[in-house]
């Protein structure tokens, strides 16, 4: 199950461009396989909540919010609303 959510844009240095993450599945894959830092409290929470959401034990919105927090912790969150202000 994909469990889509509104896009979250991150600056993925390994990919060389902004990247949209649009589902719990994509978020979990990125958190476990491509994340730029190896430790952090928000990273651990996001990984757990994405896993829980995939198992049906947490909500998609909760996993998305945790992913955004982890992206901010890793300094890769791209906030287009902040830029346009």
pTM greater than 0.85: yes
- Tens of pLDDT, residues 29-79: 999 999 988 899 999 999 999 999 999 999 999 999 999 999 999 999 987
Section 2-6 average pLDDT: 90
- What lies within 8 Å, CB to CB, of 25 at 6+ separation is 1, 2, 3, 54
pLDDT of residue 1: 66
Section 24-28 average pLDDT: 97
Assigned token pair, 76: 């890769």
């Amino acid at each position: 199950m994909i469990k889509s959510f509104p896009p979250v844009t991150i600056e993925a240095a390994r990919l060389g461009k902004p990247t949209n993450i649009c589902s719990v599945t994509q978020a979990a894959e990125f958190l476990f396989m491509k994340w730029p830092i190896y430790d952090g409290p928000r990273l651990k929470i996001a990984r757990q909540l994405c896993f829980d959401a995939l198992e049906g034990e947490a909500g998609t919105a909760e996993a998305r919010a945790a992913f955004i927090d982890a992206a901010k912790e890793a300094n890769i969150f791209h906030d287009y609303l902040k830029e346009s202000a």
